A and B are shown apart, each in its own frame.
Chain A
Amino acid sequence: MIRWSSLASSETILDRTAAARTLLFSAAGRVYGCDIESVREIIPYRRATRLPGAPGYVQGLINLRGTLVTVLDLGRRLDASREPVREGSIILAEHGARVVGIAVDEVMDVQAITEEPIATDAGEAARGLVRGLGRLDDGVVVLVDIHALVAHVLL
């Protein structure tokens, strides 16, 4: 597996090759995947301006070249008891015309992964945020539905 930690240190536009469908990343000690088509860019973690009143998994606003982007903490969205992400990367995902940041610990790899329907973890699935599971050589990843995540948080 290619480690992408070096990538996280610079602003990079991902190369969307045909085979590379799922972006793998870790948040709060677990590996997740999301559809690479909705990922626009990955930037190093930066501290967001807190948005008072917003739920705990909303880290706040960052300035992305003059545009204000709301940053969500995926780990805390899935489990509120987790520690907030304070370093790592922010995945900038496109949702319609909007861009949303997702704070993760580490961006790991891009792989072509076949999606399998989810059997367990119904709590997360019930909220519509988890699309299914993906099988890796050394384990399983939870595939996150970025659009559902964003639609659920933003007005």
Chain B
Amino acid sequence: MDSAQYAELFLTESREHVSAMNHSLLELERGVGGDEPVSAIFRSVHTIKGMSATMGYGPVASLSHELESLLDGVRRGARVVDPPLMVLLFEASDLLERAVEAAVDGTLDSVDVGPLVARLRGDGARAPSDDEGGSDPDGTEWTVTAPPGDGLLVRVRLAPGTPLKGVRAYLVVQAAGKLGDVVACAPNLQALQAGDFDHDFAIRLVLPCAPDDVGEALRKAGDVAHVRVGEDVVESAPPRHATELTVADLAEGIVTASAGPADTSRRPRSVRIDLRRLDTLMNLIGELVITRGRLIQLAAAIDDPALHEAVSQASRLVADLQDEIMTSRMVPVWQVFDRFPRMVRDAAHSTNKTVEFVIEGKEVELDRSMLEEVGDPIVHLLRNAVDHGIETPEERLAMGKPAAGKLVLSATRDRSAVAIRVSDDGRGIDRELVLARARQGGLVDAAKAELTDDELVKIIARAGFSTAERVTALSGRGVGVDAVYNRVRSLGGTVDIRSAHGQGTTVTLRLPLTLAIVRSLLARIGDETYAMPMTHVRETVELKPTIVRNLKGREVLMVRDEVLPLVRLRTLVEFVGAAPRGREQVIVVELAEQRAGLVVDALIGQQEIVVKQFDGVRDGHALFSGATILGDGAPALIIDVSSLL
């Protein structure tokens, strides 16, 4: 494992800790959870400190060190939790996050932690909290029982995710051996070398001299998150597992619960897998699905019941395998949702609003890549709700509403889709205002008196449309709703907005469970096949001469009462070859409220396709969003509808 992979692990772990930290900061601010939030923040900071020190990210380590010291003061009651402290802690959390990202990018020089470190230090009530001391900040996390015997007890915890733990532990023991005699260790040396321990182990060391530099010396072995020298303080360090796990138990996978705290025993057993490996699996299964199609085709031509039986069995297994792999790519939405409470809080603060933010359905799962894509649209919606939806406390009280606005983000799942809903009880969308703006912009008939919900969505989803009277730092630049709309559409989802004036707005995003497999329409130009995602296909019509008009030198299509621009795929892809035989077809494509007619030679049919990316070529067209592999093994390009409109 090279340093880049360590850096990646560091980044993943640190992000999780920063996220957890933000969560606890919000609890601390609300004053819920007693001492637990402070302890939780402390643990996160402490872990980041250890990891960053190991990685040699000095500024990150020093920032977290100061933060840790301050938190220790809070924990001991020497520093009261007040608004200035919260501001400082939030700032520190943000800076820590930036510093972590910068450290991994190699741009740590651009992040100056100096001023904040000074402020943290200057906040007073600082108490020296050194790792190598009597009281241990997270004594509860030591899991092994101290080995009996004489000598100085030294507890060592390796950084989470340390690869080859056994080797690392062995190096630590060796480093200890250079200082003095290692007389005992727990677990025993074989288990240690085999990596058969949680993340910590303990040794007893007989030293010829004072134990001053033990911690420092052991840390040099690398991947050491924490070293503690000295006997356990009995009440603060109960071993987490009263029962020791043996290799045999692990091998049989029968250890489902230990006598430890409830939260650890309920945690499902899992392993970390490199995301690229999951992507590879997904690709392979896509491949297998394609091959299955081919196999079924070939078998159909052969009259052999046994062959048919085998093919259909293989086919079922492939379907099951596909389900399993899709499921393994699913992640709970909290992985993205957890950063929103902090964001909503900041947005509310900066607009002087009081917002009660609730997240429901955190555990609902969505395909990993889909979840990553949908994060930004949700941020837009939440910001819109805080900025434009929810009124100031004064306005709300005057209207007979509670002073605090309610903002709910929920995720629910049905058979084939996940619905993500952002709902507020604010002022709602002013239909009159929207209608007036729409009339001004010529978007609707001047005589139109009322807007239906669907029309409302279509109007506010238009690029640049905004009813906000002023532009704020958060939103109101008219880039919100249309960006959300287009992003969700490009993911194959739909957007629905329900709003009652004075009562609030609910925006629902419905998303397919996965991005990788898309229902598409296949069409032909000469001997070339192209795919078009069905989410963008409104209808198909035959290209009769009667429906084509020439408008100012450009071809247009008359479909019912609509005039649509006509795009010939042959021209677009610069096809040279025989003219089409028979009557051409038109695919009416749509994106948001825009439509166009795309002329193709012939339609092949609908099919589930596996989307694959390919390396872009310089000077190439931006016409394609990816490619897929057809039943005969040949690649086919997927047309990016947004490039047509």
Mask, A56-71, CB within 8 Å of B = 1, is 0010111101111110
- With an 8 A cutoff between CB atoms, is A9 at the interface? no
Given the interface pairs A49-B528, A66-B284, the reply to whether A61 lies near B574 with Cβ below 8 Å is no
Chain B positions within 8 Å of A52 at CB level: 572-575, 621, 623, 637
Contact yes or no, A61 B616, CB < 8 A: no
Interface residue ranges of B277-300 to A (CB < 8 Å): 283-284, 286-287
Contact yes or no, B614 A63, CB < 8 A: no
Interface residue ranges of B542-596 to A (CB < 8 Å): 572-575
- With an 8 A cutoff between CB atoms, is A152 at the interface? yes
- With an 8 A cutoff between CB atoms, is A98 at the interface? yes
Contact yes or no, A49 B617, CB < 8 A: no
Contact yes or no, A51 B617, CB < 8 A: yes
Contact yes or no, A68 B618, CB < 8 A: no
Interface residue ranges of A23-69 to B (CB < 8 Å): 47-55, 58, 60-63, 65-69
Chain A positions within 8 Å of B615 at CB level: 68, 70, 98, 100, 154-155
Given the interface pairs A63-B629, A68-B613, A68-B627, the reply to whether A49 lies near B618 with Cβ below 8 Å is no
* B530 smallest CB distance to A (angstroms): 10
Select one of A55, A60, A65, A68 contacting B619, CB under 8 A.
A55
Chain A positions within 8 Å of B612 at CB level: 66-68
Task: State which size class the interface on A falls in.
Answer: 20 to 34
How far does the alpha carbon of A98 sit from the alpha carbon of B618 in the complex, in Å?
A: 15
Contact yes or no, A54 B572, CB < 8 A: no
Select one of B572, B617, B623 contacting A154, CB under 8 A.
B617
- With an 8 A cutoff between CB atoms, is A112 at the interface? no
- With an 8 A cutoff between CB atoms, is A13 at the interface? no
How far does the alpha carbon of A55 sit from the alpha carbon of B627 in the complex, in Å?
A: 19
- With an 8 A cutoff between CB atoms, is B254 at the interface? no
Contact yes or no, A54 B635, CB < 8 A: no
Chain B positions within 8 Å of A54 at CB level: 617, 619-621
Contact yes or no, B619 A51, CB < 8 A: no
* B407 smallest CB distance to A (angstroms): 41
- With an 8 A cutoff between CB atoms, is A153 at the interface? yes
Contact yes or no, B574 A153, CB < 8 A: no
Which residue of A is nearest B615, CB measured?
A154
Contact yes or no, B635 A66, CB < 8 A: no
How far does the alpha carbon of A62 sit from the alpha carbon of B188 in the complex, in Å?
A: 55
Contact yes or no, B528 A50, CB < 8 A: yes
How far does the alpha carbon of A154 sit from the alpha carbon of B613 in the complex, in Å?
A: 13
Chain B positions within 8 Å of A153 at CB level: 617-618
How far does the alpha carbon of A69 sit from the alpha carbon of B528 in the complex, in Å?
A: 18
How far does the alpha carbon of A53 sit from the alpha carbon of B617 in the complex, in Å?
A: 9
Chain B positions within 8 Å of A66 at CB level: 283-284, 286-287, 612, 629
Sample (18) of A-B pairs whose CB atoms are under 8 Å apart: A47-B634, A49-B634, A49-B636, A52-B623, A58-B617, A58-B620, A60-B635, A62-B635, A63-B629, A65-B287, A68-B612, A68-B613, A68-B614, A68-B615, A68-B627, A70-B614, A152-B618, A154-B615
- A-B pairs, 3 with minimum CB distance: A53-B621, A66-B287, A155-B616
A-B contacts besides A53-B623, A58-B620, A61-B627, 4 pairs, CB < 8 Å: A49-B634, A62-B635, A153-B618, A155-B620
